[in-house]
Amino acid sequence: MNKVMLIGRSGCGKTTLTQALNGEGIHYSKTQSVERGKFLIDTPGEYVESRNFGGALAVYAYESDIVGFLLSADEPYSLYSPNITSMANRPVIGIVTGIDRKNANADRAVRWLELAGCKRIFKVSAVTGEGIEELKHFLSEFDTKRYYKTRIFDM
Protein backbone atom coordinates (compact mmCIF):
# COMPACT_ATOMS: atom_id res chain seq x y z
CA MET A 1 0.00 0.00 0.00
CA ASN A 2 1.20 3.52 -0.73
CA LYS A 3 2.05 5.65 2.28
CA VAL A 4 -0.46 8.47 2.75
CA MET A 5 -0.08 11.56 4.91
CA LEU A 6 -3.38 12.79 6.34
CA ILE A 7 -3.86 16.55 6.73
CA GLY A 8 -6.88 18.33 8.18
CA ARG A 9 -8.05 20.50 11.03
CA SER A 10 -8.41 19.18 14.57
CA GLY A 11 -11.44 16.95 14.93
CA CYS A 12 -11.96 16.28 11.21
CA GLY A 13 -11.38 12.53 11.61
CA LYS A 14 -7.75 11.89 10.69
CA THR A 15 -7.01 9.61 13.63
CA THR A 16 -10.38 7.86 13.39
CA LEU A 17 -9.77 7.24 9.68
CA THR A 18 -6.29 5.95 10.49
CA GLN A 19 -7.82 3.48 12.96
CA ALA A 20 -10.43 2.36 10.40
CA LEU A 21 -7.84 1.89 7.63
CA ASN A 22 -5.69 -0.15 10.01
CA GLY A 23 -8.66 -2.33 11.00
CA GLU A 24 -8.52 -1.16 14.61
CA GLY A 25 -11.43 -0.45 16.90
CA ILE A 26 -12.49 3.20 16.84
CA HIS A 27 -11.55 5.09 19.98
CA TYR A 28 -10.97 8.79 20.52
CA SER A 29 -7.36 9.83 20.65
CA LYS A 30 -6.00 13.36 20.23
CA THR A 31 -2.91 13.35 18.04
CA GLN A 32 -0.29 15.45 19.84
CA SER A 33 2.58 14.79 17.44
CA VAL A 34 3.11 13.32 14.00
CA GLU A 35 2.28 9.60 14.20
CA ARG A 36 4.04 7.45 11.62
CA GLY A 37 2.69 4.03 10.78
CA LYS A 38 3.61 1.55 8.10
CA PHE A 39 1.17 3.05 5.58
CA LEU A 40 -0.15 6.20 7.25
CA ILE A 41 1.19 9.45 8.62
CA ASP A 42 -1.32 11.08 10.99
CA THR A 43 -0.61 14.78 11.56
CA PRO A 44 -1.97 17.02 14.33
CA GLY A 45 -4.68 19.41 13.15
CA GLU A 46 -2.68 22.34 14.45
CA TYR A 47 -0.19 21.78 11.62
CA VAL A 48 -2.73 22.88 9.01
CA GLU A 49 -4.46 25.41 11.26
CA SER A 50 -1.30 27.47 11.88
CA ARG A 51 1.00 28.97 9.26
CA ASN A 52 3.91 28.46 11.65
CA PHE A 53 3.66 24.67 11.26
CA GLY A 54 3.05 24.61 7.49
CA GLY A 55 6.71 23.93 6.74
CA ALA A 56 6.58 20.78 8.84
CA LEU A 57 3.82 19.40 6.61
CA ALA A 58 6.02 19.90 3.55
CA VAL A 59 8.87 18.02 5.24
CA TYR A 60 6.64 15.11 6.28
CA ALA A 61 5.15 14.96 2.79
CA TYR A 62 8.54 13.77 1.54
CA GLU A 63 8.01 10.60 3.60
CA SER A 64 4.70 9.87 1.88
CA ASP A 65 3.60 8.75 -1.57
CA ILE A 66 0.23 10.54 -1.42
CA VAL A 67 -1.14 13.45 0.59
CA GLY A 68 -4.75 13.25 1.79
CA PHE A 69 -6.65 16.48 2.45
CA LEU A 70 -9.42 15.68 4.94
CA LEU A 71 -12.55 17.74 5.32
CA SER A 72 -15.42 16.72 7.57
CA ALA A 73 -18.84 16.62 5.91
CA ASP A 74 -20.19 18.90 8.63
CA GLU A 75 -17.49 21.59 8.38
CA PRO A 76 -18.86 25.15 8.29
CA TYR A 77 -15.91 26.29 6.09
CA SER A 78 -12.78 24.99 4.39
CA LEU A 79 -9.23 25.68 5.54
CA TYR A 80 -7.87 24.93 2.07
CA SER A 81 -7.16 27.81 -0.31
CA PRO A 82 -8.18 27.52 -3.96
CA ASN A 83 -5.65 25.46 -5.96
CA ILE A 84 -3.50 24.79 -2.88
CA THR A 85 -2.72 21.28 -4.16
CA SER A 86 -0.43 22.85 -6.77
CA MET A 87 1.96 23.60 -3.91
CA ALA A 88 2.23 19.93 -2.91
CA ASN A 89 5.25 17.86 -3.81
CA ARG A 90 3.11 14.70 -3.91
CA PRO A 91 -0.20 13.67 -5.49
CA VAL A 92 -3.11 14.96 -3.40
CA ILE A 93 -6.46 13.26 -2.86
CA GLY A 94 -9.47 14.63 -1.04
CA ILE A 95 -11.23 12.69 1.70
CA VAL A 96 -14.62 13.76 3.04
CA THR A 97 -15.09 12.24 6.50
CA GLY A 98 -18.13 11.88 8.71
CA ILE A 99 -20.60 11.40 5.88
CA ASP A 100 -22.89 9.60 8.36
CA ARG A 101 -23.22 12.61 10.69
CA LYS A 102 -26.57 14.30 11.26
CA ASN A 103 -25.59 17.67 9.74
CA ALA A 104 -23.37 16.21 7.01
CA ASN A 105 -23.21 17.98 3.66
CA ALA A 106 -20.77 15.79 1.75
CA ASP A 107 -21.48 17.47 -1.60
CA ARG A 108 -20.43 20.87 -0.23
CA ALA A 109 -17.23 19.36 1.20
CA VAL A 110 -16.52 17.74 -2.20
CA ARG A 111 -16.92 21.12 -3.93
CA TRP A 112 -14.49 22.73 -1.46
CA LEU A 113 -11.92 19.97 -2.05
CA GLU A 114 -12.35 20.33 -5.81
CA LEU A 115 -11.77 24.07 -5.44
CA ALA A 116 -8.58 23.27 -3.51
CA GLY A 117 -7.44 21.25 -6.53
CA CYS A 118 -8.23 17.65 -5.53
CA LYS A 119 -9.01 15.57 -8.61
CA ARG A 120 -9.83 12.31 -6.78
CA ILE A 121 -12.14 12.57 -3.77
CA PHE A 122 -13.42 9.84 -1.46
CA LYS A 123 -16.46 10.06 0.83
CA VAL A 124 -16.01 7.92 3.95
CA SER A 125 -17.43 7.08 7.33
CA ALA A 126 -15.05 5.39 9.73
CA VAL A 127 -18.07 4.61 11.96
CA THR A 128 -20.22 2.79 9.37
CA GLY A 129 -17.32 1.71 7.14
CA GLU A 130 -18.82 3.32 4.04
CA GLY A 131 -16.13 4.20 1.49
CA ILE A 132 -13.27 2.69 3.53
CA GLU A 133 -12.67 -0.29 1.22
CA GLU A 134 -12.72 1.93 -1.88
CA LEU A 135 -10.09 4.19 -0.29
CA LYS A 136 -7.96 1.20 0.76
CA HIS A 137 -8.14 -0.19 -2.76
CA PHE A 138 -7.05 3.13 -4.26
CA LEU A 139 -4.13 3.44 -1.85
CA SER A 140 -3.04 -0.11 -2.70
CA GLU A 141 -3.35 0.26 -6.47
CA PHE A 142 -2.25 3.85 -7.14
CA ASP A 143 0.86 3.85 -9.34
CA THR A 144 3.03 6.75 -8.17
CA LYS A 145 5.71 6.07 -10.81
CA ARG A 146 3.15 6.36 -13.58
CA TYR A 147 1.69 9.49 -11.96
CA TYR A 148 5.04 11.29 -12.01
CA LYS A 149 5.83 10.10 -15.50
CA THR A 150 2.57 11.52 -16.93
CA ARG A 151 2.73 14.73 -14.87
CA ILE A 152 5.93 15.80 -16.60
CA PHE A 153 3.96 16.24 -19.82
CA ASP A 154 1.18 18.17 -18.07
CA MET A 155 3.48 21.07 -17.20
CA distance 81 to 10: 17
For the whole model, what pTM was predicted?
0.84
CATH class of 4-154: alpha beta
Predicted local confidence at residue 150, as pLDDT: 65
Using 50, 70 and 90 to split pLDDT, how confident is the model at 153? Answer: very low
CA distance 2 to 64: 8
CA distance 6 to 17: 9
List, in order, residues 6 or more apart from 136 with CB less than 8 Å away: 1, 21
Residue-wise pLDDT for 57-113, tens only, equals: 777 777 888 999 999 999 999 998 999 888 888 899 999 999 999 999 999 999 999
DSSP code for 73 = T
Q: Is residue 29's pLDDT more than 50?
A: yes
Question: Any idea where the domains of the chain sit in the sequence?
Answer: 4-154
